[in-house]
Amino acid sequence: MTANKDAKIQFYEGTDEPVVPEIRLTRSKDGTTGQALFLFEKPQALSSITDGEITGMRMIDSEGEILTREVKVKFVDGEPIFLEAAYIWKNTSDFDRFMRFANSYAKSNGLGYSEKK
């Protein structure tokens, strides 16, 4: 894989998701485990022109790819509106790797970070 400066998310290999999600992080008290919850509102991946089954979410940056299979579609009035994905880490090295992706993704999409007090 060639190094790419832009971080991106894909639900279908080779197709970047243009909708930027809301991302919520939770960590255990000792900081070793936790999860990132991604909430996409009306993502392109759910559009009628997209073919195929969503089997996971790929987070791609210059270091490579992080994959999660924890993906759910949320319906409102029978229409698929939200796509929810969770990335779970079980050690500090996985968390550190995720945070490097998150920082790259934020820079690529002009996002900021706010901490809940």
Q: What is the domain-level CATH number for residue 100?
A: 2.40.30.220
Q: What is the pLDDT of residues 100-116, one digit of tens each?
A: 999 999 999 887 766 66
Specify if 93 maps to a domain: yes
Specify if 38 maps to a domain: yes
Q: Given this model, what pLDDT does residue 31 score?
A: 83
Task: Tell me how many domains the chain contains.
Answer: 1
Which residues form the domain of 46? 7-108
Q: What is the pLDDT of residues 10-32, one digit of tens each?
A: 999 899 999 999 999 999 999 89
Spell out the residues 6+ positions from residue 9 whose beta carbon is closer than 8 angstroms to its own: 16, 17, 21, 38, 57, 58, 59, 60, 105
Specify if 36 maps to a domain: yes
Q: Which amino acid is at 93?
A: S
Specify if 114 maps to a domain: no
Q: Given this model, what pLDDT does residue 110 score?
A: 82
Spell out the residues 6+ positions from residue 42 whose beta carbon is closer than 8 angstroms to its own: 19, 81, 82
Specify if 116 maps to a domain: no
Specify if 61 maps to a domain: yes
Q: Which of 2-11, 43-52, 66-75 has the highest mean pLDDT?
A: 66-75
Q: Given this model, what pLDDT does residue 4 score?
A: 43
CA 58/CA 12 separation, integer angstroms: 8
Helix (H, G, I), strand (E, B) or coil at 13: coil
Specify if 2 maps to a domain: no
Give the E-state strand segments of the chain in sequence order.
8-12, 15-16, 22-27, 34-41, 57-61, 64-68, 70-76, 79-89
Query: Does the pLDDT of residue 52 top 80, yes or no?
Result: no
